[in-house]
Structures are given as structure tokens and as C-alpha cells.
Amino acid sequence: MKENHNHHQSNGAWQRHRKKVYVAPAHDGKGKGVFAARPIHAGEKVLVFRGPLMERSQITTQEDLEHSLLIEPGLYMGPSGGEDDYINHSCDPTTALVGRQTLIASRNIAEDEEITVDYDTLWLEPGWSMKCACGSSNCRGLVGAS
Ligand SMILES: [Zn+2]
């Protein structure tokens, strides 16, 4: 029993040391973003979206909606309370969603660079759109309007 406990502790420390991402205030000063805690190579798994599966009617606040991922029409992965709640959009993103819930680095990501995904590659609520000022040279200016 004691041995197990010690084993878990050292395991936890190792995971903290190896943490790939952290949450910090976003560059635009609005809300939060997710940033690389260490260099991440193209093709590496960055994070997995987690959270309770919910229908739209179960999500009652704007904040919860912003922290949810639509994984197929009508079905959301609600807020997890973790880093995955704070992934911002970029028209020139550093990651791509593979499958329903895994973000993979689409190029090499430097330490402290923001983890972003192109929201237009995700399922979006009908009628949802957002002005974009991500600053990339290929910025479309508007996301989700199609
Ligand atoms: Zn943009």
C-alpha cells in the first residue's frame, strides 16, 4: 500500500514536468489562451478535449458555450475545467483536430507559442460567427459565417 502511494507521487511529478501546455491571458487581452509549455513537434498530440457530453439545451450560459466543443451536430463536449476549455481560433492555427477530440500539432510549435485551431474546421452552431483579428497574413476576418 505504502509502496503504491509513493509510486503515484513520483508518477505525478513526472507528468507535471512533462506538461505540454498551460493557460494564460490571451494576447488580445480578452479571456484566456493555451500556450506551449515546451517545444512541440509537428504531428505530436497536444491535448485531448474532455468534458461531459451535452445537448445544446443543457448548456445554459454563454461562458459554458464558449468552453464547449461541438463534436457532431447537436452534441457538445461541455467544459472540462481544464486547458481544453481555452483553445482559441486562428486562421493560421498551430494545431488541427483529428477525430472528435484530439488536437495534433500541424507544425512545430515553439515554447510559449499559442495553441490554436481553425474554428471553421470544427462543427459550428448554425448561424454562429465571430469577427477574427488573429493577425495572421491569411486572416479571413470572419469565422463561421459560411
Ligand atoms: Zn483570423
The CATH number of the domain where 108 resides is what? 2.170.270.10
Ligand 1 midpoint to CA 103 (Å):
19
Residue 1 resides in a domain: no
Ligand 1 midpoint to CA 13 (Å):
37
Domain that holds residue 48: 20-143
Residue 8 resides in a domain: no
Residue 15 resides in a domain: no
Give the pLDDT confidence of 83-109 residue by residue, as tens digits: 999 999 999 999 999 998 999 999 999
Answer for the pair 104, 44: CB distance below 8 angstroms, yes or no: yes
Residue 127 resides in a domain: yes
Q: How many independent structural domains does the chain possess?
A: 1
Ligand 1 midpoint to CA 8 (Å):
43
Ligand 1 midpoint to CA 95 (Å):
14
Residue closest to 63 by CA, chosen among 46, 44, 80, 79? 79
Residue 124 resides in a domain: yes
Residue 11 resides in a domain: no
Ligand 1 midpoint to CA 139 (Å):
4
Q: Is the pLDDT of residue 29 over 90?
A: no
Give the pLDDT confidence of 34-81 residue by residue, as tens digits: 999 999 999 999 999 999 999 999 999 999 999 999 998 899 999 999
Ligand 1 midpoint to CA 136 (Å):
6
**Cβ-based burial of 95 (10 A; exposed 0-12, middle 13-18, buried ≥19):** buried
Backbone angles phi, psi at 20, to 5 degrees: -90, -30
